[in-house]
Amino acid sequence: MLAAAGVAGVSAALAGCAEEPSGRVGGVPSEPERITYGDDPSQWVDLHVPDGASRGLVVVIHGGFWRAQYGAEYGAPLAEDLVGRGWTAANVEYRRVGNGGGFPATLDDVHAAIGAVAADVEGPVVTLGHSAGGHLAAWAGGRTRLERWADGPRVTHVVSQAGVLDLRAAVAERLGDGAALAFLGDAGETAYDQADPLGQVPLDVPVWAVHARDDDTVPFRQAEAYVDAASAAGAEATLVEVTGGHFEVVEPGSDAWAACVEVLDSIG
């Protein structure tokens, strides 16, 4: 999820990362395959496939406060880094608030995107998302328990990077100038019941909440509240504290990204 004040800095940081060693174990084998899963221009996935055997699939879900002005370009460096580490990586674009998204359309898109790339995957299917994408990654981990999204491939692991995991708190605190309320729209309790990760606990898949205590965009307590509630309910949930504010978790080459890679290494 990208605060307006931070877009230029993040763009520069991501551009700079392209010129620095990422720690990848191999080169990117080829251009990704563009897969469309609907008729809207925002309904597509770029699928990166490694040379040789794949370790599994990582579905990369970008942030941006669910808003249309922030797109999948922010997930591309992560997908490129992951494919070099032997993962099949799917960088997902989806409809956002301002271009036909919001509840439930954005959730429909994430569900459909996972179905488009994960149906025949052997090995783990991991959702990894940053900020608003962290919300969507965690939601996807439990989506098949809900009737609307019951038919589709299951996610086996979730990695939330500075994710919005408590929508009620996000609305109460007006994170992103009311972005969570804009995403939920006027659906009321139905939206919370179907879209709030905190309300979904306990999941039956492991969740890692990677978050920096000095995050000034999505508060660290979002991760703490989720992990505490999930653990109390008997779920497998791990809080991974990093440094670097809101954005270093999506900067290949940073210590915060290395912590995400370490989580993935523990999976496959």
Per-residue pLDDT reduced to its tens digit, 194-219: 999 999 999 999 999 999 999 999 99
Question: What is the structure's pLDDT at 20?
Answer: 37
Q: What is the pTM of this model?
A: 0.89
- Superfamily covering domain 4-18+32-267: Alpha/Beta hydrolase fold, catalytic domain (3.40.50.1820)
Task: Report which of residues 36 and 25 the model is more confident about.
Answer: 36
On average, the pLDDT of the chain sits at: 90
> Stretch 55-79: mean pLDDT, rounded?
97
CA distance 106 to 162: 19
CA distance 188 to 184: 8
Q: Domain residue spans in the chain?
A: 4-18+32-267
- Alpha-carbon distance values, 73 to 93, 144, 186, 239, 242 (Å): 9, 28, 29, 27, 24
CA distance 254 to 1: 18
pLDDT (tens digit per residue) in 121-177? 889 999 999 999 999 999 999 999 999 999 999 999 999 999 999 999 999 999 999
Give whichever of 11-15, 26-30, 254-258 has the largest mean pLDDT: 254-258
Exposure letters 86-109 (e unless 16+ CB within 10 A, then b): bbbbbbbbbbbbebbbbbbbbbbb
